[in-house]
Every structure is written in structure tokens, then in C-alpha cells.
Amino acid sequence: MALHRTSVLNQMDYGREAKEGKPAPSTEERLDSGLDSLKEEEYQAVAAEIRQLQLEPEPPQRRPAAPGELQEWKTQTTEDGDTLLHLAIIHEAKDYIRTMIDLSKNTDFLNTQNDQRQTPLHLAVITNQADVCERLLVAHCDPTLVDDSGDTALHIACRHGNLLCFSVLTQNCLPEHLHTVMAACNFQGQNCLHLASVQGFLSLVENMVDLGADINAKEQRNGRSALHLAVDQQNFSLVKLLLKKGADPNLLTSGGHTPFHLTYGRNDDDIRKELYSLTNPDLRELPDSESDDSEEEEEEDDESDEEVGYDDIQWNGH
């Protein structure tokens, strides 16, 4: 149906809240996003461009639009690299979101990344708009794209425990895309299962494992698995869930530590007892950080350095 001018102006008057002293929508990931960072004349230009979108359906007798005829609005971006679709999602302008996505199905416009490399799908998750996530995925956006932190939209949903967006993303992704995003590590070396484990979101962890996520996948920085992270967080419920789902209690980190090793010096005896019987007896003792031999070698090296004398060094001719 046609977008009525009155409702459009009410919905897209981004500057109104700021002028009345109301805080503009913001998120942890977007502290300076959208039109809040525009100069007044730039804002007016973008607002005018949006108002000019007369996106009514074609009458049956009318000729189809020629390629590129309705494409000019797709090229408009702010100084932050946001397209009109980015802005519409940030400000939750549902009518414009729906219309722009419908006109952009199966096109790269849906995957446009702003200066923070966020796609419209990233922003839909950040602003907790599960319906927009679904519409973008149905229109065949790419859920595997990452932002400037290496996060996919699914990473963001898992970090914040957004179960609704998580469900929409996992249910509407192509199988190959879902496998890719669940296995992908961000620039901190963590995949979606690691992020959900750190935050203690049991439902997300269980759902991902059921969907095929590798329960024993290791962080890239230090080789910790989800079970190691659960022990780190002293989350007994998560420890039990991961063990029930098949997590390996004998998996070693890059430093050679099992999850049981991480119970040393911790207060939760329940976790320690749970892991003790499941851990290989040969792996229960903490590994030595340095051997006696290595210490002796270092002492010998120090002594040898002291004994070395140099008689051929010249300084200022002496």
C-alpha cells in the first residue's frame, strides 16, 4: 500500500526528539550513529530524500520500471556511511524499512556496510527488531558478513542474550550460512557459543549445540572451550549442561589446562566434584609452569654471560 505523507513525516522526523530535549535512541554498538551526527543542512537533505520516496505498487496496466529508475535513493549515504535503510532501522521507521527491503530483494543494497562495517541486519539485531531481521533474511541478505569487531549479527544476538533475534536468525538462515556463522570467530577469537557461555545464557548454548555447533571448539587466543569458560564463570548449571551435551572434560587449553585445573583456588566445590571423576587421573595435577632443568639452564646462561669479556670495544677512540 502507499505510504501516507502524514504518517511518514511523523515516523521519520528524526530531529524532533533531539530538538525537544528527549534522548535519541542509542545502543552500545552505535553511540554516534545515524542523523544525530549530521549537520543541520545534511539532515534536511536526507530527510527530504526520504520524503520523496513515493513507493506505491505498480498498477497492472503500468509499464515496469526501467532498471535503475528507482535506484537513486539507494546511493544516498551519511558521513558515517549509513544508507537510508540503515537510518530507517536505527529509528525504527517500519513503513520505510518494509518498502525499501521489498524493493531491494536479492540485491547487494541489503548488504551495504557503513563505516563500522555494520549491515542493516547488524542494526536490526542491535535495535532488537526481530521482524526486520526476518524480513531481511527472507529478502536474501547475507548473514555471514562481519562488522569492524569481526561480529556477525548472530554474534551480537548471543552476546546480549537476544533469544528472539537468535531464533529468527537461526530459523531463516540457509543451512550453509548457519554453519558458517556459528563456527566463525570474531576478532577476539570467540565464536557464538563462547560468547553465550561467557554471559551464561543457557538457552542459547543449548540451542546452538542442538543446531550443530561444535561444543568443544576452542577460543583462538588461549584455547579455552565453552566448558573452560563455564568454570571460569563459576556457572555450575552451565557446566552440567555442557557435560550433558557431550563437552570433553579432558580438553586442554593452549597452556595445557583441563577444565578441572581451573577449579584450583575457586570457591565452588560442586564444580570441582563434578569434574574430578570425569577428568583423566593423569590430567588432574596442575602442569608445572617451569621445570627444574629449565631453571638450572637459565642460571648457567646468567653465569656464562657474566664471564664473557670484551676487549675490542671502542668508545670515542678508547
pLDDT for 309 equals 53
Give the three cell numbers for residue 169.
536468525
pLDDT (average), residues 84-113: 96
Greater confidence (112 vs 14) lies with 112
Among 70-74, 207-211, 269-273, the minimum mean pLDDT is found in 70-74
Whole-number pLDDT of residue 286: 84
Identify the pLDDT of residue 318. Answer: 52
145 has pLDDT over 70? yes
CA distance 198 to 158: 10
Over residues 177-188, mean pLDDT: 96
* Grid cell at residue 270: 560442586
Q: What is the DSSP annotation of 205-270?
A: HHHHHHTT--TTPPPTTT---HHHHHHHTT-HHHHHHHHHTT--TT---TTS--TGGGGTT-S-HH
How much is the average pLDDT of 128-135? Answer: 98
- Fold held by 215-286: 1.25.40
Q: How far is CA 314 from the centre of its chain?
A: 58
Domain range summary for the chain, segments of one domain joined by + = 1-13+77-214, 215-286
Q: What confidence category does residue 12 fall into, taking pLDDT thresholds of 50, 70 and 90?
A: very low
**Bridge partners of 77?**
83
pLDDT of residue 65: 46
Residues 150-159: what's their mean pLDDT? Answer: 98
- Identify whether the C-beta of residue 181 lies closer than 8 Å to the C-beta of residue 202: no
Q: Per-residue pLDDT for 46 more than 70?
A: no
**pLDDT score of 57 more than 60:** no
The confidence score (pLDDT) of residue 9 equals 35
Which helix or strand (DSSP H or E) is residue 177 part of?
Answer: helix 175-183
Distance CA 89, CA 12 (A): 11
- What's residue 313's pLDDT? 55
Q: What is the CATH number of domain 1-13+77-214?
A: 1.25.40.20
pLDDT of 82 reads 97
- Please tell me the least confidently modeled range out of 28-37, 40-49, 177-186: 28-37
Burial of 98 (0-12, 13-18, 19+ CB in 10 A): middle
pLDDT at 14 over 70: no
* pLDDT (0 to 100) of residue 16: 36
**Residue 247: pLDDT above 50?**
yes
Per the prediction, the chain carries an average pLDDT of: 81
- pLDDT band, very low/low/confident/very high, at 73 (cuts 50, 70, 90): confident
Q: List CB contacts of 237: < 8 A, sequence separation 6 or more.
A: 202
Q: What is the pLDDT of residue 22?
A: 43
